[in-house]
Amino acid sequence: MQEKTYLKWYNKVGYGSGDIAGNVIYALLSSFVMIYLTDTVGLNAGVVGTLMMFSKLFDGVTDIFFGSMIDKTHTRMGKARPWMFGGFFGCAVTLAAVFAIPANMGETAQYAWFFIAYTLLNAVFYTANNIACSALTALITKNQSERVQMGSIRFIFAFSASMLIQAGTVELVRLTGGGAAGWRNAAVLYAILGLLVNTLSVFSVRELPAEELEESGKGDGESYRLTDAVRLLAANRYYLMICGVYILTQLYTATLNMGIYFMTYILGNANLLGVFSVAVNGPMIAGLILTPLLVKKLGGMYKLNLTGYALAAAARALVTLGAYWGSIPMMLVFSGVAALGMSPLQGDLNALIATCSEYTYLTKRKRIDGTMYSCTSLGVKIGGGLGVALAGWLLDASGYIPNAAAQPDSCINMLYFMYLWIPMILNLVITFLLSRLKVEQANARLEAKR
């Protein structure tokens, strides 16, 4: 029997466009906040990295909290949409604040300004918006194929936005005044763009009624405390695996986004970041377009994700080899191959989390979709935040000199390690975790016993 469909094409596209807003924040922070703070504001990379690390302590307690709040929300807009809509207004203000540190402040006050704005952005507003956006995957359709399509469309928009931001931000900063004023103006423009697109995304879909989401017609997934939610998550080994995978994929992206330093001080041209962004995001987008078809053809996500990441790990090894040989074309080609291999997981990850949520429902009879999707925000913040923080610590330890014509050998060696070796190692670890992530098979066995 054919599975019921819930969405029109414009619902899927409208929902997916919301990731333009999310990546306005993520791409700008992960690719440019460190070089803005070190080379424009003049702050120490190691101190900035430490502040980011402390900021993650606040982040760690908000993800499950907001996920639980979404599960307990009842409004005419639904459970998740109000949080997605309201959260981005705070995102817009705090994103602009991160890139608007006053030059006439004392250094201690500048660190404090950054820490407060960065923490509010990540721990509060981005958390509420991102978890809500992800949770909508399970709240607007019960059709697995539609969930995969939504994930693919969402990440097509995400990587397109990331590619444009990475390729165009350096020039946009120059065109809007350069220096501190240019960074501030660019951030304001991105914040306004994100606010508009996020609003469009929120009102392009509707959530299903609670009785349609619950097979029993009763809200048996809603009566639980936050401590109960934590226990339910901890009891789901597939949730823990997905959290690990998500954190590592974001850590991978964050360390790769330190490419602005690699391009500037090793390849000698900061604008090459845009070229590499196209080389990575072009194949990624192509792979995302194909992901729904491949998932359907292979009868699930497991084999496709595992094969793709094995290919990605091998390709990153060849990128590293190309860098030591001094071959930019080889680096570009295999960066693209790695991105193509990684694309299926990016496209079906939300559907995979929804499947993981079904596992909790099948084993515990509790539906905690919002809390389950806390792993997306948790992964973005811990992985992305740690990646940028780690970069700051490693840069500082290597003897990095802001705006220097040439960096010391210790720094050059560190940039090779950060941009080449760390991403390759992370891909190998992710491949191993994916080999254990057999939640589809587990759900099928549970369904067969009912």
Phi, psi angles (nearest 5°) of residue 402: -55, 135
Q: Are 250 and 380 in contact (CB under 8 A)?
A: yes
Q: Which secondary structure element, helix H or strand E, spans residue 344, and what is its range?
A: helix 328-364
Residue-wise DSSP of 201-228? HHTT--PPPHHHHSTTSS-TTT---HHH
Cβ within 8 Å of residue 303, ≥6 positions away: none
Q: What is the pLDDT of residue 219?
A: 42
Q: What is the pLDDT of residue 328?
A: 94
Q: What is the pLDDT of residue 432?
A: 96
Q: Tell me: the pLDDT tens digits for 146-161?
A: 887 887 788 789 888 8
Q: What is the pLDDT of residue 217?
A: 39
| Residues β-bridged to residue 78 | 75
Q: Are 231 and 163 in contact (CB under 8 A)?
A: no
| Longest Cα–Cα distance in the chain | 68
Torsion of CA 173, 382, 97, 40, to 10 degrees: -40
Q: Are 34 and 48 in contact (CB under 8 A)?
A: yes
| Residues β-bridged to residue 232 | none
Q: Are 102 and 230 in contact (CB under 8 A)?
A: no
**296-305 long-range contacts, CB within 8 A, separation 24+:** 296/145, 300/440, 301/148, 301/344, 301/348, 301/351, 301/352, 301/355, 301/440, 302/434, 302/437, 302/438, 302/440, 302/441, 304/344, 304/348, 305/344, 305/345, 305/348, 305/352, 305/434, 305/437
* pTM confidence score: 0.72
CB atoms closer than 10 angstroms to residue 416: 15
* Per-residue H/E/C for 365-432: CCCCHHHHCHHHHHHHHHHHHHHHHHHHHHHHHHCCCCCCCCCCHHHHHHHHHHHHHHHHHHHHHHHH
Q: Which of 73, 179, 107, 134 is nearest to 379 (CA)?
A: 134
Strands (E), 223-292: none
Low-confidence residues of the chain: pLDDT under 70: 1-2, 60, 213-226, 369-370, 373-381, 384-385
